[in-house]
Chain A
Amino acid sequence: MAKRIEVEDLDIYYGSFRAVRNVSMTIHPRAITALIGPSGCGKSTYLRALNRMHELIPAARVEGRVVMDEQDLYAPGVDPVDVRKHVGMVFQRPNPFPTMSVYENVAAGLRLNHKRIRKSELDGIVEESLRGANLWEEVKDRLGKPGSGLSGGQQQRLCIARAIAVKPDVLLMDEPCSALDPISTHAIEDLMAELKENYTIVIVTHNMQQAARVSNYTGFFNIGGTGEPGELVEIDETPTIFSTPTHTDTEEYISGRFG
């Protein structure tokens, strides 16, 4: 579980448009890395490049290396499907499968990955994952009900349960709380703090306080101007970034948002 990722000189293109330029960073295991930066600077683009989700967009491509376990995820012959089994993702909008029950949602990934799985074993993993996502107590009596019948915050935790049920090494989260109320946000933040014991977590957030509260490392992305590629300005331990950042851009962005 929980693996280190080394990103080396990553460029990401949409067709001929370079959206992200020359990113290198180390993503530490058993820690939360937060990515912050103004809108359009390529945070989502970068995050999705870490599990090759961007390949769904026809013209999108990547140059550079993303190394996990001494394996470049972009090496020829690496199957993006395998990459995504190891690097899970939680999205901005909660997206439990609406045609499936709570139980089936959590089991969905397992049914894909190991076709034959005993019911008792599946029950165990579903419960464990829901407990892991701090949702078990709230849904244990309605496992057979549609997942879309839960509240937004519960749905997002259901999505986290679904993602951790397949036991990935890394969990990517793109603004997982931006559609949620403060209480649900708090629940997810608590959950992240627990999950980092076992996972490598990367989270994109627009919420400075959230980055400061939950993350161990913070990376600041910025963009030169419209049409320019986004780039990583700096990444460091979160307290350092928020107290004594190296770049004035970082300081201005952070203080602007705090002020």
Chain B
Amino acid sequence: MSSIGQDAVQGRRARKRPADQAFRGITTGAGVLILVVLAGVAAFLLIEAWPAFVAPAEEIPGEGGLVLYIWPLVFGTLLAAALALVLAAPLAVLIALFITHYAPRRLAQLLGYVIDLLAAVPSIIYGLWGFTVLAPATLTPTGWLAENLGFIPLFAGPASTTGRTMFTTALVLAVMILPIITAVIREAFLQTPKLYEEAALALGATRLEMIRTAVLPFGGSSILSGSMLGLGRALGETMAVAIVLSASGGITFNLISSGNPATIAANIALEFPESSGVAIDALIASGLVLFAITLVVNMIARAVINRRTDFSGAS
């Protein structure tokens, strides 16, 4: 009793425990390190890209200077990633729901395992698959789309004869980001407290209604954060896009023709070996823009998620 009292008094001069101190130092260091790395990357990009900013417009590849060079790449990057997300996110929600609420336990485990495996497949493999299998397979459907739904700008055509279109690229990217999105959402759905599912069922909810009232609202922020992770991956994906997409530059929403905008990452991979001088600086400048886009995407995601926590407070 008295020794506790003494401790408490001494405690005012905050006893320093060496192990605690050391560990605290290590964790702080790790936290600072990540900031330093991030700042370092940004600084590198800025310094290396600088010559491209100040170079005369004629020296930049293409015509019309840096902005006109990068803007179509930005457009292509955003288009491919957004399309992939639109395709993958709803499917990921459905798969996660199936795994957590419909599938028998064995099947659920197996499926979860397969999904995780999908995430581990190197992107070059997805690229090869997209190029050799998926691209030819899209020829018939895209031909049909161009003929029958050609009035929609997305399917204006004429349909590409190789299938190496924005459409195929988005499909490949969708498959690639599906596992990560599914994994995040599945985790959240698994953690939906039984408490709330029971509350819904006790009111006479069917299983679907229970999912709508008690599971999806919980998963809301996880659907968002999973999607943002997926979007991040789709924005930066390089090899698969470089292999699948036959790019000709230009800005178009036409997804199935042979004239497709390139993406920043794939463009860097394809052009870098053959570039020199200011052209390299221009590529790095486009990389800087990609870096900025991913940062902004993540910040928006955080903001949205934070705003929603108001109503998701666990009680």
Contacts and interface: CB of A to CB of B under 8 A. Distances in A.
Given A97-B214, A100-B217, A155-B315, A88 B202 contact: yes
Contacts of A81: 204-206
Interface string B192-231: 0101111111111110010001100110100000000000
A99 to B, nearest CB: 4
B200 A108 contact: yes
B315 A98 contact: yes
Contacts of B274: none
A112 B315 CA distance: 24
Contacts of A166: 203-204
B312 interface: yes
Contacts of A155: 315
Given A99-B218, A100-B217, A146 B203 contact: no
Contacts of B314: 98, 148
Contact of B198 (A53, A109, A112, A113): A53
A95 interface: yes
B67 to A, nearest CB: 44
A96 interface: yes
Contacts of B193: 95
Nearest to B194: A56
Q: Which of B204, B205, B313 has the most CB of A within 10 A?
A: B204
A85 interface: yes
A204 B48 CA distance: 72
Nearest to B202: A89
B313 A146 contact: yes
Interface string B293-315: 00000000000000000111111
Contacts of B213: 97, 108, 112
Contact of A112 (B203, B312, B313): B203
B196 A98 contact: yes
Q: How large is the interface on B (under 10, 10 to 19, 20 to 34, 35 or more residues)?
A: 20 to 34
B315 A109 contact: no
A161 B220 CA distance: 26
A109 B195 contact: no
B142 to A, nearest CB: 40
A148 B315 contact: yes
A82 interface: yes
B313 A98 contact: yes
A84 B201 contact: yes
Nearest to A159: B199
Q: Which of B193, B203, B213, B214 has the most CB of A within 10 A?
A: B203
Contacts of A162: 199, 203
B315 A94 contact: yes
Contact of A97 (B199, B201, B206): B199
A149 B200 CA distance: 19
A93 interface: yes
Q: Which of A82, A98, A159 has the most CB of B within 10 A?
A: A98
A180 to B, nearest CB: 13
Nearest to B214: A97
Interface string A57-88: 00000000000000000000000011011001
Q: Which of A53, A95, A149 has the most CB of B within 10 A?
A: A95
A149 to B, nearest CB: 7
17 contacts: A81-B205, A81-B206, A84-B202, A91-B198, A93-B195, A97-B199, A97-B217, A98-B196, A98-B311, A98-B312, A98-B313, A99-B311, A109-B203, A112-B203, A112-B206, A162-B199, A163-B202
Interface of A: 51, 53, 56, 81-82, 84-85, 88-89, 91, 93-100, 108-109, 112-113, 146, 148-149, 155, 159, 162-163, 166
Given A99-B217, A148-B314, 8 more contacts: A84-B202, A91-B198, A93-B195, A97-B199, A112-B200, A112-B205, A146-B311, A166-B204
